[in-house]
Structure 1
């Protein structure tokens, strides 16, 4: 009887060890699916450029459309190998500390912080002047009836716009709130929202994008606009909830922001590459290497990629990053 018990215990131990070994195994696929962003934005353009670069120098890679929230969930569930997101959102997903993450997305980790990400609230100038608003705080305080749009749910833009209203102003459902004020809410692509703003079908269009954004310049070329800043106290509340920071929109980038313009403060974050945590370490190391060594080429697609540096590529705090990425960025930062 004792021998039988010992035999069963030994078999159980073997299965336990085997299961642990299997769970520790990493994946090295023959090709990669890179989840970019909606058409018309920087992520869409840079996603195509990255896929072409990795295909030519390392591994066949296909760029597909995506969104910041969906890309995290799909990387976690191995429905895509890597893609764009926002660093603060990866942190939220890893802990499932806020909607829409019902369960922790621990298999979605950071490969690199690429460049700073600004969330803009762009208002038609005639609308802003009519209601005497210069900031988002003014619009909320006055409860101005607003025809409002952002990108579709599942994108980083909609996530952080929702977060601004929720954490910054205590508005649990901005869609209902804006409608209660007599306004409306809809979802549009970058180019679609720009056209709606220019055609006076929208009053405010909000989205996240890089520091130097062609879509903002496109909007400025179509109609007179105002970038609505956010008060620091409001930004601090958003930062406490989501780990975002404060960025200032400097004069000289957009014609609507000049030396005479009141300081425009915006929600600050990073565009990052989120990657499957179980992806092969050496493969992720090589993906970082190829991307870093070809920044100049990639900047022809999106100039903001020039902001990528080893010093800021790996986020601080409790955000998990891929070991292959950590090894690469640590190595090059010492050189």
Structure 2
């Protein structure tokens, strides 16, 4: 729930505290969430935007919070644990429609989208020496599919199913990315799934230690999977993204910035305007590799869940939304 305080001074200004649900510190959501928080924040006493100061929302102080990931973030936005959050596009759509992992519950119709942000690539990380050359080789291996509440867990199960495998066919390990790194470093894990925008800290650490390879997801099975799952797309993790690893074909979803429908229209409008303020462009470009891909031209790409009225108003003003 957004918290507002008003200080009784001659230049009284209300302060709004806003929590952004992200993910593990080993992934991409947390640094991107922290970056967005810095872009949209503008605490009282900050220098004016035109004077080289903050170009965020006046009086807003946003902070990023670590979470288990997309599923937890969606529930958190719906129940008020977070004011806003990052989540995978496929998980957002499934929640709104009451499908997939959300099929046992009522549709989460209170979520709204502020913006599509950047692609998230499926990293299928395998330990060198584990003799894993294809997804099918994961059978009988110690594999982490992340923790309950993460989008990665749902994606991992979908991909395993595409290759004729289920949780019962692997020695499934429940571990978040930080724990997965520790297990890989001690040869206590053979592989793990991680859906995140590259470069990912967890994968970089293991690559620097010379412990891993990235398994490609391509070919006929991947093509059939894409035709059945429209929220995925072909992708490639470029060579040298991680030390001594070549380019790897894989699949990707996208990250969306979500909020509850109850958040005031004016606040969401100002947050959206701050995100796309040209004066904040350098923060996005320099803050993270994926920040360079956060651009207004793709703000609504692949968005099937309703856009928040505040964001919609801004997109109509700048001509991104015309119909």
- Give TM class, smaller chain: 0.7 to 0.9
**2:188 aligned to which of 177, 201, 204:** 201
Q: Per the alignment, in what secondary structure is the counterpart of residue 240 of structure 2? A: coil
Structure with higher Rg: it is 1
1:227 equivalent in alignment to 2:214: yes
Where is the helix percentage greater, Structure 1 or Structure 2?
1
Q: Shift in Å at residue 139 of structure 1? A: 1.4
| Residue number in structure 2 paired with 1:160 | 155
Change over 3 Å in CA distance of 1:199–1:276 after alignment to 2 = same
Aligned pairs, number: 289
Q: Per the alignment, in what secondary structure is the counterpart of residue 84 of structure 1? A: strand
1:46-105 Cα distance to aligned partner (Å, 9 max, x none): 323333443323213232222200111221233322101001111111111112442211
Q: Shift in Å at residue 123 of structure 1? A: 0.8
| Residue number in structure 2 paired with 1:22 | none
TM-score by length of 1: 0.77
Q: Per the alignment, in what secondary structure is the counterpart of residue 257 of structure 1? A: coil
| Residue number in structure 2 paired with 1:305 | 291
| Residue number in structure 2 paired with 1:79 | 81
Partners of 1:204 and 1:123 lie apart in 2 by 4
Partners of 1:320 and 1:234 lie apart in 2 by 32
Q: Shift in Å at residue 274 of structure 1? A: 1.3
Partners of 1:318 and 1:291 lie apart in 2 by 21
- Are the equivalent residues in 2 in contact too, given 1:226–1:256 (CA < 8 A)? no
Partners of 2:222 and 2:312 lie apart in 1 by 30
1:115 equivalent in alignment to 2:107: no
| Residue number in structure 2 paired with 1:146 | 141
**1:280 aligned to which of 261, 264, 267:** 264
Structure 1 segment 41-190 matched on structure 2, within 5 A: 41-56=27-42, 57-58=56-57, 59-66=60-67, 67-101=69-103, 102-128=105-131, 133-136=132-135, 138-139=136-137, 143=139, 145-166=140-161, 168-171=162-165, 173-174=166-167, 176-178=168-170, 184-190=171-177
1:228-265 Cα distance to aligned partner (Å, 9 max, x none): 1123433344432462111122223233433xx6xx32
TM-score by length of 2: 0.80
- Are the equivalent residues in 1 in contact too, given 2:70–2:149 (CA < 8 A)? yes
**1:291 aligned to which of 275, 284, 287:** 275
